[in-house]
Chain A
Amino acid sequence: MNKIYTDAATALADVVKNGMTLMCGGFGLCGIPQVLIVALRDSGVKDLTVISNNAGVDGAGLGLLLETRQIRKMVSSYVGENKLFEQQFLSGELELEFNPQGTLAERIRAGGAGIPAFFTKTGVGTVIADGKELREFDGATYVMERGLIADVSLVHAWKGDAEGNLVFRKTARNFNPMMASAGKVTIAEVEHLVPAGEIDPDAIHTPGIFVHRIVHAPDVAKMIEKRTTRPRAA
């Protein structure tokens, strides 16, 4: 069983379908599967439902798929950095489902863990709870949220081995581990591809069982959304 694909286009070729549901890792532009997103755009697939915390920015990340109008619906917690998104949403071209960020993370974690629904306090008494089941536990009110799974999950990792074991780096981990577990087919792009056995088993963040295809993506030009620095002492 070989999980390693020569490039992103090949890894995507027989799994992308119009109208499918896709998870895409990352927080802002941090830890997004850039190479896979470009290949997805180039595949021409359309009417996508994309579950991703954010929708990229103009000209980068999922913003690339908005330019080509390949996304029909976004499930996100925050989309404030993308003017094209705003235009398409206001014109009715693009559907949007807001989830509180922690609820989104837990829905994905639950989906990957075979949990169809859970109860949370988040959103009780707000529009988020409209039309959802409420239940009292120990004197407090909770709202039921459903687990999420995807036809295909695209994730980015710092290091991966031939078995599909993944290691993420710093805050680029974010949504990637849960999304890897919640994809019927999970494709990981990894900055460093190593033979099985090279990663300390105790240091693996995502076990290879959750990763079906791996693409080596060295030298990715990672982007910074808000470069902030402090002056050096004189």
Chain B
Amino acid sequence: MAWTRDQMAARAAQELRDGFYVNLGIGIPTLVSNFIPPGMSVQLQSENGMLGMGPFPFEGEEDPDLINAGKQTITALPTTSYFSSADSFGMIRGGHIDLAILGAMEVSEKGDLANWMIPGKMVKGMGGAMDLVAGVKRVVVVMDHTAKGQTKLLHHCTLPLTGSAVVDMVITDLGVFTIDKDSGTGMTLIELADGVAADEIKSKTEANFTVAPDLATTAA
């Protein structure tokens, strides 16, 4: 069985560590906040100018001056600080954020990421994605393995890049890959979703990858 969206988010949450400052993208990455282990201190950064992001407000308590980067109403925590967009991206560009978890349209075996533009269709813009992948210490992509039957893990991205050699880990509905982006040694399959065989992943992946000797099957 392929992982559900929640199972993918739970697997991504295993990459969190106590004391981490983390930026979560829109979509499945947002769900990761539901799986922060109890007792672990993780501060969520919202690039529009907030560190220490709390849950959605109760109905009637929405504040138009308090939104996240997806423009959703949110709440503050006792740890919260607010700052300008320049300070926010200073944190990001300056390497102070430990982990970014993002969605993607394509990832290449070298760790290239495409997630902001489809030529010929309307372009919405990259927002903060290019800054995040260039500046954050570690980048984890969470995405479906395929889209409309086509693999999203490629030798080379076909879409315009968000960043070149920036992805450290890819979590799909079928399994988990690490990418050694610095040495260029490529992708390694380190984990299979419960009930998924390595052969199924091979048949649905264009990118070259090696299989870790201690490949684990995990029910996230």
Binds A, one of B14-22, B87-95, B99-107: B87-95
- B71, A173: Cβ atoms under 8 Å? no
**Interface readout for A151-182 with B: 1 if CB under 8 Å, 0 if not?**
00000001000000000111111111110000
Residues of A within 8 A of B164 (CB): 124-126
Given A31-B65, A102-B89, A103-B131, decide whether A77 and B126 contact each other with a Cβ distance below 8 A. Answer: yes
**CA separation between A151 and B135, bound complex, in Å?**
31
Instruction: Please classify how large the interface on chain A is, using the bins under 10, 10 to 19, 20 to 34, 35 or more.
Output: 35 or more
A102 touches B126 (CB 8 A): no
How many residue pairs, one in A and one in B, have C-beta atoms under 8 Å apart?
Answer: 180
| Interface residue tally on B, bucketed by range | 35 or more
Residues of A within 8 A of B134 (CB): 120-124
- Residues B85 and A126 in contact, CB atoms below 8 Å apart: no
Cα distance A222–B64 in the bound complex, in angstroms: 6
Asked if B27 lies at the interface with its beta carbon under 8 angstroms from chain A, I say: no
A124, B61: Cα distance in complex, Å: 42
A210 located at the interface, meaning its Cβ lies under 8 Å from any Cβ of chain B in the complex: no
Considering only residues 154-187 of chain B, those with a C-beta below 8 Å from chain A are 160-165
Residues of A within 8 A of B78 (CB): none
Closest chain B CB from A176 CB (angstroms): 8
B124's partner among A53, A78, A124, A229 (CB-CB below 8 A) is A78
Contact at A120–B66, with CB atoms within 8 Å? no
B3-11, B52-60, B198-206, B209-217 - interface stretch: B52-60
Per-residue contact bits, chain A 30-43, to B (CB 8 Å; 1 contact, 0 not): 11000000000000
Q: Are A123 and B84 in contact (CB under 8 A)?
A: no
12 pairs, CB–CB < 8 Å, chain A vs chain B:
A30-B67, A86-B122, A102-B89, A105-B84, A122-B130, A125-B161, A126-B163, A172-B65, A174-B84, A226-B73, A228-B73, A230-B57
